[in-house]
């Protein structure tokens, strides 16, 4: 089995939490880590600064497409930052737990 983390940012904790909860309820992911971040970026030729929330969610690689589609569906940004991070080696019992949870 192959595993991936999916990283996305959100403008509010409430939105990031709602997306993570929906993914968990659908059993598309096994876990979500949410944390506040300070972001600087170029948007429409302007330098922007924002306080955002980042999410790192853990899943099986086969579920990544469904996870990305759900994040896009629920997200308020015009162009949300959604990135798959394939996972190589790790602690096998952790990976086994992900497989037990994700359906």
> What are the tens digits of pLDDT across the range 35-80?
999 999 999 999 999 999 999 999 999 999 999 999 999 999 999 9
C-alpha closest to that of 38 among 17, 15, 76, 11: 11
Per DSSP, the three-state class of 13 is helix
pLDDT of residue 40: 98
pLDDT at residue 6 in the model: 98
Q: Which residues contact 49 (CB under 8 A, 6 or more apart)?
A: 38, 39, 40
**Domains of the chain as residue ranges with CATH:** 3-101 (3.30.70.120)
Q: Which of 6, 23, 27, 1 is nearest to 82 (CA)?
A: 6
The mean pLDDT value of the chain amounts to 97
């Amino acid at each position: 089995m192959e595993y991936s983390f999916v990283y996305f940012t959100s403008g509010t904790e409430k939105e990031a939490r709602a997306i993570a909860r929906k993914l968990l309820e659908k059993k598309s992911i096994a876990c979500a880590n949410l944390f506040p971040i300070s972001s600087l970026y170029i948007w429409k030729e302007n330098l922007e600064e924002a306080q955002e929330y980042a999410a790192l969610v853990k899943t099986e690689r086969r579920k990544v497409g469904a996870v990305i589609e759900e994040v896009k569906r629920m997200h308020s940004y015009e162009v949300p930052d959604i990135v798959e991070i394939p996972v190589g080696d790790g602690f096998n019992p952790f990976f086994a737990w992900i497989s037990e949870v994700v359906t």
